[in-house]
Amino acid sequence: MKTLTMLLLLICAFHAHISLAAIHSSGPPITISGKITSSDGTPIIGATIRVKGSSAGATTNANGVFTLTSVADNAVLVISSMGYNTMECTLKPTEKGIAATPAKASDAANIRLTEGPSPVLNITLTASVQELGESVVIAYGTVKKRDLTGAVVSIKEADITATPVNNAMEALQGKVAGMDIMRGSGAVGTNPNILLRGSRSIYGDNSPLFIIDGIQSSYDQINPSDIASIDILKDASSTAIYGSAGSNGVVIITTKKGKTGKSSVNLDVFYGLSGSPHFFHGMTGDEYTNYRKELYRTANGEYPQDMSQIFTTEPVLDAYNKGKWIDWVGLITDNTATQQKYHLSLSDGTGKTKVYTSFTYTKEEGILSNENLNRYALRMNLDRDMASWMKVGTNINLNYSIQNARGKNIFTKSLSALPLGDAYDANGNINPVFVQGETTPLGDQLPNQYADNTRTTFAYMNGYLDIKPWKDLSYRSVLGVTLNNYRNGKYWGRQAVSNVVTGYAAPLAAIYNGFTYGYTWENILTYNKTIATDHQLTVTGVTSWAKNSADYNNSLGQGQELDYYQFYNLGNGTQKTGNASSYEQRQRLSFAGRINYSFRGKYLLTLTNRWDGVSHLAKGHKWSTFPAAVVAWRVSDESFMQGAGNWMDELKLRAGYGVTGNSGGMSAYSSQTQAATYQAISLDGKLVPNVQNFGTYSNPLISWERSYNTNIGLDLTILKGRITLNADYYNTDTKGLLFKRSLPVTSGLTAWASPLQTWQNIGQTNNKGVEITLSTRNIVRPAFEWSTNFSFTSNKEKIVYLPDGDVISEKLFIGQPISAHYDYKYQGIWATADEATATLYGAKPGFVKVATNEKFDANGTGDKGVHPYSINDRMVLGSTVPKWLLGVNNNVTFRNFDLNVFTMMRWGQMISSSLLGWYSTTDDGQPAGISYWTPENQSARYPRPGINSTTGIESLRYVDGSFIKIKTITLGYTFPAHLTKYAHISKGRIYASAYNPLIFTRNRDLKGTDPETNGSDTFPLFATYVFGMNITF
């Protein structure tokens, strides 16, 4: 609350400061008239001229003429129109009347003012950079937007910072067609899961490649406020030049740089508070009492005469009689989650040097006590012109974070705990035993009983050299270094409820250390030539080398005598200890080339090839080639389209084909036989090492996964930019899947008596889908604008081939997505009237009814599925792949107010909800609000309490996970320029934002949960309400 109070006081002080500073007089208001035309002298209809920072404005008529009244003689005028560059000019009183000074010197020739008491202002607007060729960042270079041939989405700074989050990818959720971003947990510091055009590989990495300022790095170490743009490359023609690294798409993040002749200081601050988490609570009061009565009734055939027959121990019965009910989930989530960020940046450019530097402090407090994250970040981007033909620069990003996490099973422990007793003693301290024989699920919150502390130091640095020996040729060399060091310390006391390391028991202390470091060196040679006016040729050559190493070690000590030491004194352990370490190193060397050709700007061709070599594949198969080609046709530039020029701005057709590769999922030494030396044994009286195979045999033929991609696209802009449509269809066949295949037992067994395995290139998957992005500017007025962006994705994926058919143990099925659900299919609860039929399936009234497999003949008599339930009745139920995704982003500005409402929809996926499956029919605590079967309630969804069969009960967890979510609502107010300029503030804005405020689920059983977590019961998501401000000096 102190932080929030300080923030509110700062906002008030800021508002008061600019208000007081604005008390300056100016001359009487004036009237300005004039005409707005294009570069060829054509009047621009519907252009707007408005007073910056106010609602005053005017619109040009059919002749391009406007009249603007009651204008201050020192006002700043903003002139804009669809498809043209926006212009600003400042009015200034003179002896003759009034003068107009453009904000940009280059606009001076486009402003003509006739001075006098009633000045006439004639303005010429130039076609916008976006129309003429806005630059889009692509692999190893940039290209004009009009010349873009691939499926690329460009996200600008304003779209990134519109959502106040600490993770840049969360700001893109639902806004990029083909990009599926899901946050699976509400735990502090959780990164979202990201897929581009679905999953292709079974064991490989399906995440996209992230390029930060030209070098591969991790996006979660980048502050969103430092980002200038994000460009998403989706098709093979765009990503093939990255070879195997870009097989799942590429996300290019460009950070901010200093600007010549312009100095600015920016302060970005926000503070957020959480609402209630989306999670089930446990039964209490009459609901739990009635449940336990039904449990007794099932076992004894009648209700208990009094509660002493249920609560058979005196302390529990006494707690019941005194009404000492405990909502354990409510207690563990009683902490108010907060998030806050303080970002200060400086951008400057003087002479030949440009610099951008920033410092950021972020802090997150979770909904569990002692769950928090503190992060400190420092960035500096420096660019220096050494000569007219040479430039050097560096990008440095330093991060240090301290995170305290909580155990992942604390919520389920709270759901299953007995809801009776004294959670706290008279002094407000947690009772380790809250009632006789019952250990508190809050054990992790007891002093020194649980710790999970991680300290991370991250450093990313790159330096570049740009040389342009002559006009058409340029060379860039970039050397990058990434260092990441972490220490994770954990402690489980005797009263901790979190799961300890397998094979150990509490009290247990452990320390895990990791140090990863990587080097990247890339050289890019670019030749750009215009030949005979009509021919534009760009040739790019690339060499890329990368080396990455990882060094890990850990130590464990069991039997800690003093909780006070936690993990800081492993020698305090008196029992079982353990030590382990590992090291790996891998390298990659690549050569790539690309040709971009344009004829008259209408016919475009891009040819790409990359040669990739990696160290971790088998000898003789380390290298592969990844070619791609794409053509595009700007139909709107054809002479036969001139008649459509009044309403069609651009029509471009694209078609491409390319090959990408993947070798992810394998460790640095997976292509080799792995062995470990165990305790020595005696042979002929001598001790010799006992070598036992780890379980992976070498395969001299192991090679690349290869994806063959086809992409067909359309780009359409009409009505002077009022409506923009981008549509793509893609089809990807991935062959030679890297698959960990079990060998026959005759080949031997591992130390754990499991079959040996080897990596092989077998199997095939297919992905195909449609992506549509539609942007509309619905209303454009001087004081009011409304725009909408739609992003639609429909992705279908399936396994086409597996060498041994379906692999049930891995839930891999031909014709199904990789993420298929395989289990019993829920069909209700057996009713009393169907008792005879239920007997045929080995069930009784109140038991779960599931579908049977008619192909499985249990008795060899052709039973057609009428047999007692067995594991052979499990079947494919669905998958986590949605049928479609839709994001709708509405932006409204009214005078100085701005409103953003973003809605996302995820439809047609099935989730496995651990919460819905938590009901156990036992005397444990149960989720509140469920309807269970009784003789009087036979239409219930859940089985009868106390039944002695759990077959099929897991089918309860599989439900339709479709949902509609109001993801963000942001309301902002920008202070008028005539106020802020007196405080030497170029821009000041305050805002309030609601994050995850409303969720609508298709399945009513999911009410109270957030399906975005895909049914996880670890950490729920929750609503957050954020207040912040942005000030630029």
Tens digits of residue pLDDT in 346-376: 999 887 899 999 999 999 998 888 889 999 9
DSSP per residue over 451-506, as a string?
A: EEEEEEEEEEEEEEEEEEEETTEEEEEEEEEEEEEEEEEEEE-TT--SPPPTT--S
Residue 929 lies inside a defined structural domain of this protein: yes
Asked if the model's pLDDT at residue 737 lies above 80, the reply is: yes
Lowest mean pLDDT across 322-336, 407-421, 489-503, 819-833: 407-421
Average per-residue pLDDT in the chain? 86
pLDDT tens-place string over residues 973-1025:
998 877 877 778 888 899 999 988 999 999 888 877 788 887 776 677 888 99
pLDDT of residue 1019: 73
Flag whether 463 is in a domain: yes
Average pLDDT over residues 866-878: 91
In a domain, 917, yes or no: yes
Structure tokens at 251: 């996300």
C-alpha–C-alpha distance, residues 885 and 2, integer Å: 41
**pLDDT at position 15:** 44
pLDDT of the residue at 6: 46
pLDDT tens digits, one per residue of 580-611:
888 999 999 999 999 999 998 899 999 999 99
Q: Is the pLDDT of residue 830 over 60?
A: yes
Lowest mean pLDDT across 625-634, 659-668, 847-856: 659-668
The reported pLDDT for the residue numbered 752 is 55
Residue 65 lies in a domain: yes
Distance of alpha carbon 417 from alpha carbon 925, whole angstroms: 5
Q: What is the largest CA-CA distance in the chain?
A: 114
Average pLDDT over residues 36-59: 78
Residue 197 near residue 213 (C-beta atoms within 8 A): no
Domain end, chosen from 581, 616, 651, is at 616
**Cα–Cα distance measured from residue 162 to residue 268, given in angstroms and rounded to the nearest whole number:** 12
Q: Quick one: pLDDT band at residue 107, thresholds 50, 70, 90? A: confident
Residue 373 corresponds to which amino acid?
L
Q: Estimate to the nearest angstrom the gap between the alpha carbon of 470 and the chain centroid.
A: 43
Predicted confidence at residue 908, as pLDDT, reads: 93
Domain boundary pick from 127, 156, 176: 127
Contact call for residues 74 and 26 (beta carbons, < 8 A) = yes
pLDDT at 67: 87
- Considering only residues 168 and 830, tell me which one the structure prediction assigns the higher pLDDT: 830
Instruction: For 473-492, write each residue's pLDDT tens digit.
Output: 999 999 999 999 999 999 99
Whether residue 432 has pLDDT greater than 50: yes
Min mean pLDDT across 7-16, 694-703, 899-908 is at 7-16
- Cα 329 from Cα 928, distance rounded (Å): 11
**What pLDDT is stored for residue 517 in this prediction?**
94
What local confidence, expressed as pLDDT, does residue 849 receive? 95
Contact 608, 636 (CB under 8 A): no
Q: How confident is the model at residue 858, as a pLDDT? A: 67
pLDDT(566) > 80: yes
pTM comes to 0.83
What sign does the CA torsion over 825, 827, 829, 832 have? Answer: negative
Of 127, 144, 169, which marks where a domain is finished? Answer: 127
Other C-beta atoms closer than 10 Å to the C-beta of 322 total: 10
Looking at residue 158, what is its pLDDT? Answer: 82
Query: What is the rounded CA–CA span in Å between residue 278 and residue 1017?
Result: 11
Of 108-122, 199-213, 617-631, the one with minimum mean pLDDT is 108-122
Q: Can you list the alpha helix ranges (DSSP code H) found in 780-935?
A: 835-840
Which CATH number covers residue 69? Answer: 2.60.40.1120
In a domain, 404, yes or no: no
Give the tens place of pLDDT for each residue, 230-275.
999 988 888 888 877 788 899 999 999 988 777 889 999 999 998 7
Q: Residue 148 is encoded by which pair of tokens?
A: 């873009």
Provide the number of structural domains found in the chain. 3
Token code pair at residue 929: 């609000």
CA distances from residue 960 to 544, 755, 766, 910, 1011 in whole angstroms, order as listed? 46, 37, 24, 5, 9
The CA distance from 742 to 825, in Å, is 29
pLDDT for 661: 86
At 169, list the tokens: 């990818």
Per-residue pLDDT at 675: 67
Residue 904 counted as domain residue: no
Q: For position 445, what pLDDT does the model report? A: 86
Cis previous bond, 507, omega within 30: yes
Domain that includes residue 869, residue range: 825-873+910-960
- What is the Cα–Cα distance from 241 to 538, expressed in whole angstroms? 15
In Å, what is the CA distance from 760 to each residue of 291, 620, 666, 668, 763?
53, 15, 11, 15, 9
Q: What is the pLDDT of residue 942?
A: 92
Looking at residue 160, what DSSP letter applies?
H
pLDDT of amino acid 9: 42
Least confident of 224-238, 269-283, 720-734, 839-853: 269-283
As a whole number, mean pLDDT of residues 220-230 equals 89
pLDDT surpasses 90 at 379: yes
Interval 646-696: pLDDT, tens:
888 899 999 999 999 888 777 788 777 776 655 555 566 666 655 555 567
Percentage, residues of the chain above pLDDT 70? 92
Instruction: Answer whether residue 770 is part of any domain.
Output: no
CA distance 964 to 950: 33
- Give the SS3 label for residue 145: helix
Token reading at 607: 């040819």
46 located within any domain: yes
